[in-house]
């Protein structure tokens, strides 16, 4: 069954704007809010922004790379777009839900498709206590920060912090330290995706820490809880010959 209402979203880069204009001229389209599939033109940042913007719309997104990084994007092609959409593989992603509490008693929730990061705000290292399903697993981690990544986000910030690459469908999350000082040899953990993670910030006023869910930042947090929200499924479309599973597998064999 083909998609009847195609919407287009493009970044502000010159290549993406030109691609958007060309595709809108060539194909019938509707506003993205009224679409049953959205074609995203840009890089991974544009895809993440579009996923967040249309979080509650429950429509699949098909990305075409017109940016600098395109791990979540397909190759750009103008011909036979309806056929490309019809034969695309569907990949479901579950976002992380972050609940953060702050020094002044505030509480904020945000969703993350890639990762939730805790980062030191000043020159002093952060001190974090890490609990998994209510049990303290690391009483004190002295570090620049730590992050929790989904499989889709495992090749982004997580990989730069020397975290593991996770295949989609593995049912895992990556818990990765950022410049750990003590325990010096701790390299993180692989966790089942149904766990509840809790970070308690030790000495939060002396050593302030911020929490970032993709690009939603909360300053001066004291406690951050993270769970994967299995009630929400975000759908990305990939060309069969170059799907997300294959990209993640390939990424583990590049030097």
Which positions are annotated as active-site residues? 44
Backbone angles phi, psi at 5, to 5 degrees: -125, 105
Degrees (nearest 5) of the Cα angle 202, 213, 144? Answer: 40
**Residue 162, Ramachandran bin (φ over 0: left; ψ between -120 and 50: alpha; else beta):** left
Contacts of 4 (CB under 8 A, 6+ apart): 36
List, in sequence order, every beta strand (DSSP E) within the chain.
6-10, 37-42, 61-65, 89-93, 96-102, 107-112, 115-120, 126-132, 135-143, 145-149, 172-178, 189-192, 197-202, 209-213, 216-218, 221-228, 234-238
Q: Is 210 exposed, middle or buried (0-12, 13-18, 19+ CB in 10 A)?
A: buried
């Amino acid at each position: 069954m083909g998609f009847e209402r195609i919407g287009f979203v493009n970044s502000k880069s010159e290549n993406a704007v030109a691609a958007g204009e060309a595709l809108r001229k060539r194909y019938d389209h509707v506003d993205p809010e009224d679409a049953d599939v959205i074609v995203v033109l840009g890089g991974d940042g544009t895809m993440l922004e579009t996923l967040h913007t249309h979080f509650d719309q429950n429509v699949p997104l098909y990305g075409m790379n017109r940016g600098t990084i395109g791990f979540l994007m397909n190759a750009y092609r103008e011909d036979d777009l309806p056929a490309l959409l019809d034969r695309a593989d569907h990949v479901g992603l579950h976002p992380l839900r972050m609940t953060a509490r702050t020094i002044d008693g505030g509480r904020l929730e945000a969703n993350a498709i890639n990762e939730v990061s805790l980062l030191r705000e000043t020159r002093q290292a952060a001190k974090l206590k890490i609990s998994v399903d209510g049990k303290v697993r690391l009483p004190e981690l002295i570090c620049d920060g730590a992050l929790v990544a989904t499989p889709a986000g495992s090749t982004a910030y997580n990989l730069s912090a020397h975290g593991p690459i996770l295949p989609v469908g593995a049912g895992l999350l990556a818990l990765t330290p950022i410049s750990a000082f003590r325990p010096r040899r701790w390299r993180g953990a692989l966790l089942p995706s149904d766990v509840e993670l809790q970070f308690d910030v030790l000495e939060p006023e002396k050593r302030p820490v911020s929490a970032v869910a993709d690009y939603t930042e909360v300053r001066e947090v004291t406690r951050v809880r993270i769970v994967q929200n299995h009630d929400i499924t975000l759908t990305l479309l990939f060309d069969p010959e170059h799907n997300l599973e294959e990209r993640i597998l390939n990424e583990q064999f590049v030097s």
